[in-house]
Amino acid sequence: MSPAAPTPASPEAAARLRSLPKVELHQHVDGSIPAEVTWDLMRHYRLNPAPTLDEMRRFLEMQPGEEGTLLAYLDKMHYPLWVTQFYENISRVVEAICRSAVEAGVRTLELRYAPLIHTYAGLTPRQSIRAALSGMNHARRAHPELKLGLIVIAMRQHGPHIAKVLARQALAEAQHLHERTGVVGFDIAGPERGNPPRLFRSAYEIARLGSLGLTAHAGEDAPVEYVWQAVDELGVSRVGHGCAAVRDRDLLRRLARDRITMEVCLSSNYHTGAVPPGEPHPLSAFLEAGVPVALCCDNSTVSRTDAQRESLLAASQVGVETVERIHREAEALTFIRPETALPPQ
């Protein structure tokens, strides 16, 4: 299976999946901003690097022929950073992402966000987190049925000390300390090789003591040892991608036994080359081994996808009933806690 040539879904399957309340547990802000919103913000500052929105899309979305190259994929994240350095803009793009998710049928949405790469114009890390939460609160007013939470990402290349600082900043905005939309989890992302999970043990200890949910990007562009480390040394209950785990039966047994969730991102994995073209996605192997999975977009704009499309793609591999079951069960895997009150106006 490849996102370029999925098995066409029947209209019945598409309709069933469209009405399915979906759970999205792994979606990045930077790679999910609707192209129109980035375009509008750039036009406001007269910064547009391309003369038309259609041409701009080529800088923001994977193009035919670019699939399978991690560098091309990561390049798509750079342009939105030009405009997401200001509180109001961050709030606006997050609100827009929430709105798009609702349109694709998402009812439980965890967005993840690296606060530090939005501080180049002077925001503090805490203000950067608050800006993203502000966008979520705006979205909640329009869609009170939407469950929302933010995962704070420490970028691996910034090192373990910065990760510890971010874990503390994340805690200060934790959902359970404020009884409103807040930070629900902690993650590491960015270049895996040379930045093994075990280096970030202290940051995860801080997040764990503060009762944040723990996840880590691991085994996307690195060997299976990195997934073992994330599980054994960081104590994560979810793993971002984890494609490498499919090659290790002992690890699959461990993930199943301890109910550690794989955040599966089908389109993204083919776009970055985490799964080579033409190879079956590990999704089926995870399911056969009894490993809990969630179906996620990763970067909806970069991968030109949404929760509905990812569900259809998964259904072409494992069937509609299984996809329905995955979303139903994923409700129990979210880091978002039940809320008692809407955010203040």
Q: Alpha-carbon distance 204 to 211, whole Å?
A: 10
Q: How many CB atoms lie within 10 A of CB 283?
A: 25
CB of 189 to Zn ion, least distance (A): 6
Q: Alpha-carbon distance 94 to 30, whole Å?
A: 9
Asked if residues 1 and 7 have their Cβ atoms less than 8 Å apart, the reply is yes
Q: Which stretch binds Zn ion (CB under 5 A): 55-63, 91-99, 101-109, 294-302?
A: 294-302
CB of 328 to Zn ion, least distance (A): 23
Closest by alpha carbon to 93, among 48, 33, 39, 152?
Answer: 33
Cα dist from 40 to 46, 93, 149, 160, whole Å: 10, 11, 26, 36
Pick between residue 3 and residue 240 the one whose CB is nearest to Zn ion: 240
CB of 202 to Zn ion, least distance (A): 22
- Give the footprint of Zn ion on residues 172-201 (CB under 5 A): none
The yes or no reply on residue 24 touching Zn ion (CB under 5 A) is no
The yes or no reply on residue 67 touching Zn ion (CB under 5 A) is no
The yes or no reply on residue 310 touching Zn ion (CB under 5 A) is no
Which tokens belong to 94?
């997050």
Asked if residues 111 and 150 have their Cβ atoms less than 8 Å apart, the reply is yes
Pick between residue 105 and residue 240 the one whose CB is nearest to Zn ion: 240
Within the chain, strands assigned E span: 22-28, 106-113, 147-155, 183-189, 213-218, 238-241, 261-264, 293-295
Which tokens belong to 340?
């008692």
- Give the footprint of Zn ion on residues 154-173 (CB under 5 A): none
Segments in 179-319 forming alpha helices (H):
201-209, 225-232, 249-257, 266-272, 283-288, 307-318
Q: Which stretch binds Zn ion (CB under 5 A): 38-46, 207-215, 291-299, 330-338?
A: 291-299
CB of 234 to Zn ion, least distance (A): 16
Asked if residues 196 and 163 have their Cβ atoms less than 8 Å apart, the reply is no
Q: How many residues bind Zn ion (CB under 5 A)?
A: 2
Contacting residue, 298, 300, 309, 310, with Zn ion by CB under 5 A = 298
Q: How many CB atoms lie within 10 A of CB 273?
A: 17
- Give the footprint of Zn ion on residues 228-267 (CB under 5 A): 240
CB of 182 to Zn ion, least distance (A): 21
Point out the residue whose Cβ comes nearest to Zn ion. 298
Pick between residue 229 and residue 299 the one whose CB is nearest to Zn ion: 299
Pick between residue 22 and residue 180 the one whose CB is nearest to Zn ion: 22
CB of 263 to Zn ion, least distance (A): 8
Q: Alpha-carbon distance 10 to 21, whole Å?
A: 19
Pick between residue 9 and residue 262 the one whose CB is nearest to Zn ion: 262
CB of 262 to Zn ion, least distance (A): 12
Tell me whether residue 19 is exposed, middle or buried, using C-beta atoms within 10 angstroms of its C-beta: 0 to 12, 13 to 18, 19 or more: exposed
Pick between residue 24 and residue 173 the one whose CB is nearest to Zn ion: 24
CB of 289 to Zn ion, least distance (A): 22
Pick between residue 125 and residue 240 the one whose CB is nearest to Zn ion: 240
Q: Which residues bind Zn ion (CB under 5 A)?
A: 240, 298
